Structure 1
Amino acid sequence: MEHAELSPQEISLFMELGRAAKACLQAEGACIELLGQPGAEMLECSTWAVMPAFFISRTLDHREMLNWALTRGGFHKALVLLDLRHADKATHQAHLLDRYAMVRLALLQDNTATLALASRGRFLDKAQALAGLFPEGTSWSFLVGMDTLARVLEPKFDQEPSRDIQDLFSRASFLVFERPGWSHVSLPEGLQGRIRLARLPEPLREISSSNIRMARQLGLPWKHQVTPQVAEFIERTGLYLGTPDIYEPRRKALERLMEEAQGG
């Protein structure tokens, strides 16, 4: 089927990602692997907005969150982390390689952000790895929605949640964007100063990856929620139609490519 076909450009790009993913997953402890080593002047930048890219579709609100951080939030550079493993989210059909492609199309077209792989999904693991990535004295914050902050404060996989939350917030601060239905999250005592709230324009606050998947399956309008490049990619690959046999040939092709890239 046409959806299984991969262009030469995709094969080259995905092989590079597969090799980087192997190195990242084989590292001892939590690892963050930069994709396309940035120049020294980028690493020396003093303030970074760090966006974990565990969302499945790359929507306009994610793009606007980055823009807000860089134009109004006081950050100089942005780092987008693509999770190789999720702590509490399923991948909802899209293969890692296609999620990588959508991140590039949605968030990296204007060179305002650097992309990296994260070997682990927990925010504490990311914070520990980032401490070894940035030069001493670098200031940075996680860039998330209010729904994500709620999950951070109620972790499912931490053996000692209270201690791990305190450890996380001693290492990292958060720039948090309000989400519909998440107007308030109770913060543990002493953490308020580590969280900064922001608001997107009203139309963008209603956008979500789950809404896009549902609308596409039901035949409802959805393209207004993503960039034109991402919309074209979703249509071309057969993503999110709710009919497994349409996307499955491409998924299998991507799995074979990933195995080849990792020497499997």
Structure 2
Amino acid sequence: MYISAQRLRHMQQVQDLLDQLQPTASAEVICVPGSQEPEGTVIVFTGSFNPPTIAHLALLKQAQQYAKDVQGPVHVYAAFSKRTVDKEGVERPLLLDKVILLQDILSKRLPAVGILLFNRGLYVEQAQAIRQAFPKVKRVLFLMGFDKIVQIFDPHYYEDRDASLEALFSMAELFVVPRGNAGEDDLARLLQQPENQRFACYVTSRPFAAAYRDISATQVRQGGSHYEHETPREVRYFIQRLRPYAPPVKRLDGSERDVYQEHVAYVKQHLGPVC
């Protein structure tokens, strides 16, 4: 469970940022050190990244290609939220570990992509946080799969859906990519529904390679040999070394060993409370 002093210092720095974000406070966002401060146009891909897959990386790389169609400076960010809609039940691994792992991957593979941390999970709250925290930002584009746009238009998530959508689209636009078998035609049908038509001009369909559309972080967490082909090397090492998604290992004497909980205990010993 040894972690170098330099690594622990970096983990402490990230944990201090996470501690600043309170889900019950007004909308807030923090730029992780090493990421360029947002300005001009920003493309933000918010996810749980639990764990990061090759589809996540492909979409972030594709976002850099989308940026060529936008005038002026464009910066691409992956983003985490301390309150992720419909993900509250997923507790392992620590948010700290997820941020550090993604940062390690991006630094080697997509160094121009930054990381943002939000305290709130709704896109309207995240758009508000960006606008308030980074006044040099002129345009906000959220990048998402088709499953997320369905969620955004679902009244289940709002007290007043139309008022919330009006607020969202006054601050941001959406880039939507195919997910599974759902593509451009499905998006067009969703936007043609009478209650959605007036928001259609703020939503743009973008291409995404079919090879990545069915890759799921949920399936990776559930195990199986396929995860070796759907995750980058850093994720495979993380899973094999710390076993964050695996049940405790049974010893010959009948006792159990939870490798990931041992890691968490080690981190808490050196950093104090973590999330």
TM superposition score normalised by structure 2: 0.81
Match of 1:235 among 225, 240, 252: 240
Partner AA of 1:99 in structure 2: K
Q: Give the CA deviation at 1:99.
A: 0.9
Report if the CA contact (8 A) 1:97-1:254 is conserved: no
Match of 1:59 among 53, 56, 60: 53
1 CA distance for matches of 2:146 and 2:261? 33
2 CA distance for matches of 1:211 and 1:261? 26
TM superposition score normalised by structure 1: 0.84
2 CA distance for matches of 1:68 and 1:119? 26
Report if the CA contact (8 A) 1:56-1:92 is conserved: no
SS at match of 1:49: strand
Q: Which segments of 5 or more consecutive residues in structure 1 lack a partner in the other structure? A: none
Report if the CA contact (8 A) 2:144-2:174 is conserved: yes
Aligned length: 253
Partner AA of 1:69 in structure 2: A
| Equivalent residue runs for 1:12-91 within 5 Å | 12-25=9-22, 28-36=25-33, 43-44=38-39, 46-74=40-68, 76-89=74-87, 90-91=89-90
Report if the CA contact (8 A) 2:23-2:120 is conserved: no
Larger Rg: 2
Q: Give the CA deviation at 1:142.
A: 0.5
Deviations 1:196-241, CA, capped at 9 Å, x for gaps: 1123222211211012122x2xx32311111112221221111222
Q: Give the CA deviation at 1:181.
A: 4.1
Paired position in structure 2 for 1:103? 102
Partner AA of 1:182 in structure 2: A
Paired position in structure 1 for 2:177? 177
- Which structure is higher in RCO with an 8 Å CA cutoff and minimum separation 6? 1
Deviations 1:87-125, CA, capped at 9 Å, x for gaps: 221325211111112211333434211212111111111
| Equivalent residue runs for 1:163-174 within 5 Å | 163-174=163-174
For the aligned residue pairs, the C-alpha RMSD in angstroms reads 2.6
Partner AA of 2:221 in structure 1: R
Paired position in structure 1 for 2:119? 119
Paired position in structure 1 for 2:252? none
Partner AA of 1:210 in structure 2: T
Change (3 A) 1:92 1:28: closer
1 CA distance for matches of 2:219 and 2:50? 11
2 CA distance for matches of 1:19 and 1:251? 16
Percent identity, aligned pairs only?
20
1 CA distance for matches of 2:203 and 2:242? 38
Paired position in structure 1 for 2:211? 203
Paired position in structure 1 for 2:8? 11
1 CA distance for matches of 2:101 and 2:151? 24
2 CA distance for matches of 1:38 and 1:240? 29
Q: Which segments of 5 or more consecutive residues in structure 2 lack a partner in the other structure? A: 250-257
Q: Give the CA deviation at 1:247.
A: 2.0
